[in-house]
Structure 1
Amino acid sequence: HNHQSLLWWMKGLIAQRKRHKAFGRGSLEFLQSANQRVLAFVRRYENEQILVVANRSRFVQGVELDLSDFRGLVPIDVIGRAEFWPIGDRPYALTLGPHAIYWFSLEPSRVPELAMAAVHQEVPLPVVATRGAWDDAVHGEARTALEDTLPDYVRGRPWFRKAGRQILALHIAEAIPVPYDDTHGYIALVRVILADGDPETYVLPLAFAPDHEGLPWNGPVEARIARVQSIEQDQVINGTLIDAMWNPRFVEELLETIAHGRHLRGKGGTVVSRRLPDFRSSGGSSTSQLPQAISEENHSNTTVRIGDRLILKLFRRVDEGTNPELEIGIALTGAGFPRVPRIAGALEYERKRLESMTLAVLHGVVANEGTAWQAAQEALTDYFERALATNATAPAMIAPTAAALLALPDQEHLALARRTVGPFLDAISLLGRRTAELHAALTSASIDPSFVPVPFTSFSQRSLYQLARGRTGRVMRTLRRDLDALPEPARSAGQEVLALEPVVLQRLRAVLAHKIPAVAIRCHGDYHLDQVLLAGGDYVFIDFEGESELSVGERQLKRSPLRDVASMIRSLDFAAQVAQERRAAAGETPDELRLLLEPWARYWHHWVSTSFLTSYLEAAKGALFVPAEREQLEILLDVYLLERAIAELDHDLNNTPGRVLIPLQGILQILETERAATA
Structure 2
Amino acid sequence: GDPGLHHLILDVTQNGVTDHYQLLLGVRRDLPDRLLHVEIGGTSGDPGLREGPDVPEAHLYDAAHDPDLTRILLDDLAAEASVGPLRFRHTAGAGIRTDLTSLPITAEQSNTSLLFGDAYICKLFRRLSTGVNLDLEVNLALTRGDCTHVPAVLGWIELEPGRGARAGGNGEPVTLALLSDYLHTGADGWSLAIASVRDWFAHTPPAGDDEWAELDASAAGGDFAAEAERLGAATAEVHRALADAFGVTTLPAAEVHAMAARMNAELTGTCRAVPGLAPHAKALTGAFLDLAAQAGPLPVQRVHGDYHLGQVLRTESGWTLLDFEGEPARTQHERRALAHPLRDVAGMLRSFEYAARYLIAKSGTVPPEPGGRLETRAHAWAARNRAAFCRGYAAAGGADPAAHSVLIRAFEFEKAIYEVRYEAQNRPAWLPVPLTSLAHLAT
Shorter-chain TM range is 0.7 to 0.9
The match for 2:427 is 656
Out of 92, 100, 108, the position equivalent to 1:277 is 92
* One-letter code aligned to 1:649: V
The match for 1:444 is 244
Following superposition, the deviation at residue 238 of structure 1 comes to 3.6
TM-score (norm 1): 0.59
> How do 1:452-467 and structure 2 match up within 5 A?
452-467=247-262
The match for 1:328 is 138
Following superposition, the deviation at residue 511 of structure 1 comes to 1.9
Following superposition, the deviation at residue 560 of structure 1 comes to 0.7
Q: Does structure 1 retain, via aligned residues, the 8 Å contact 2:232–2:393?
A: yes
Alignment partners' CA distance in 1, 2:264 and 2:393 = 28
The match for 1:409 is none
> How do 1:106-117 and structure 2 match up within 5 A?
none
TM-score (norm 2): 0.88
Out of 182, 185, 202, the position equivalent to 1:385 is 202
The match for 2:342 is 562
Q: Structure 1 residues 297 and 422, CA, compared in 2 at 3 Å: closer, same or farther?
A: closer
> How do 1:484-523 and structure 2 match up within 5 A?
494=276, 497-501=277-281, 503-523=283-303
Alignment partners' CA distance in 1, 2:282 and 2:290 = 13
Out of 179, 184, 207, the position equivalent to 1:362 is 179
The match for 2:167 is none
> How do 1:219-258 and structure 2 match up within 5 A?
219=35, 221=37, 223-229=38-44, 233-235=52-54, 237-258=56-77
> How do 1:8-157 and structure 2 match up within 5 A?
none
The match for 1:297 is 107
Q: Does structure 1 retain, via aligned residues, the 8 Å contact 2:343–2:411?
A: yes
Alignment partners' CA distance in 2, 1:279 and 1:202 = 28
Q: Does structure 2 retain, via aligned residues, the 8 Å contact 1:322–1:357?
A: yes
Q: Structure 1 residues 369 and 359, CA, compared in 2 at 3 Å: closer, same or farther?
A: closer
Following superposition, the deviation at residue 544 of structure 1 comes to 1.6
Alignment partners' CA distance in 1, 2:303 and 2:322 = 12
The match for 2:153 is 343
Following superposition, the deviation at residue 657 of structure 1 comes to 2.4
The match for 1:668 is 439
> How do 1:407-418 and structure 2 match up within 5 A?
418=218
The match for 2:374 is 597
The match for 1:84 is none
The match for 1:102 is none
Q: Does structure 2 retain, via aligned residues, the 8 Å contact 1:217–1:239?
A: no
Q: Does structure 2 retain, via aligned residues, the 8 Å contact 1:456–1:560?
A: no
Alignment partners' CA distance in 2, 1:349 and 1:553 = 20
What is the aligned length?
431
Out of 331, 335, 344, the position equivalent to 1:551 is 331
* One-letter code aligned to 1:240: H
The C-alpha deviation readout for 1:454-473, integer Å capped at 9, x for no partner, is 11322441343344344434
The C-alpha deviation readout for 1:134-181, integer Å capped at 9, x for no partner, is xxxxxxxxxxxxxxxxxxxxxxxxxxxxxxxxxxxxxxxxxxxxxxx5
Q: Structure 1 residues 337 and 392, CA, compared in 2 at 3 Å: closer, same or farther?
A: farther
Alignment partners' CA distance in 2, 1:321 and 1:385 = 49
> How do 1:312-327 and structure 2 match up within 5 A?
312-327=122-137
SS in 2 for 1:383: helix
Alignment partners' CA distance in 2, 1:194 and 1:608 = 42
* One-letter code aligned to 1:600: R
> How do 1:195-210 and structure 2 match up within 5 A?
195=15, 198-210=17-29
Following superposition, the deviation at residue 372 of structure 1 comes to 1.3
Q: Does structure 2 retain, via aligned residues, the 8 Å contact 1:294–1:303?
A: yes
* One-letter code aligned to 1:366: L
Structure having the larger proportion of residues in helix: 2
Query: Are 2:221 and 1:425 equivalent residues in the alignment?
Result: no
Alignment partners' CA distance in 2, 1:585 and 1:203 = 38
Alignment partners' CA distance in 2, 1:643 and 1:278 = 43
SS in 1 for 2:313: strand
Q: Structure 1 residues 468 and 188, CA, compared in 2 at 3 Å: closer, same or farther?
A: farther
Alignment partners' CA distance in 1, 2:401 and 2:310 = 30
Q: Find the structure with the greater CA-based Rg.
A: 1
Alignment partners' CA distance in 2, 1:597 and 1:425 = 19
Following superposition, the deviation at residue 392 of structure 1 comes to 5.6
SS in 2 for 1:254: helix
SS in 2 for 1:206: strand
Instruction: Structure 1 unaligned segments of length 5 or more: list them.
Output: 1-180, 398-412, 446-450, 481-493, 674-679
Query: Are 2:425 and 1:637 equivalent residues in the alignment?
Result: no
Out of 330, 346, 352, the position equivalent to 1:572 is 352
Higher mean alpha-carbon deviation, 295-304 vs 577-586, is at 577-586
> How do 1:140-179 and structure 2 match up within 5 A?
none
* One-letter code aligned to 1:570: R
The C-alpha deviation readout for 1:174-198, integer Å capped at 9, x for no partner, is xxxxxxx5553322222222216x4
Alignment partners' CA distance in 2, 1:600 and 1:629 = 24
Following superposition, the deviation at residue 575 of structure 1 comes to 0.7
Following superposition, the deviation at residue 439 of structure 1 comes to 0.7
Q: Does structure 2 retain, via aligned residues, the 8 Å contact 1:524–1:544?
A: yes
Following superposition, the deviation at residue 578 of structure 1 comes to 1.1
Alignment partners' CA distance in 1, 2:82 and 2:371 = 57
SS in 1 for 2:187: coil
Q: Does structure 1 retain, via aligned residues, the 8 Å contact 2:231–2:319?
A: yes
RMSD: 2.8
Q: Does structure 2 retain, via aligned residues, the 8 Å contact 1:584–1:594?
A: no
Q: Does structure 1 retain, via aligned residues, the 8 Å contact 2:390–2:401?
A: no
Query: Are 2:10 and 1:190 equivalent residues in the alignment?
Result: yes
SS in 2 for 1:509: helix
Out of 172, 189, 194, the position equivalent to 1:372 is 189
Higher mean alpha-carbon deviation, 648-657 vs 569-578, is at 648-657
The match for 1:264 is 83
Following superposition, the deviation at residue 254 of structure 1 comes to 1.7
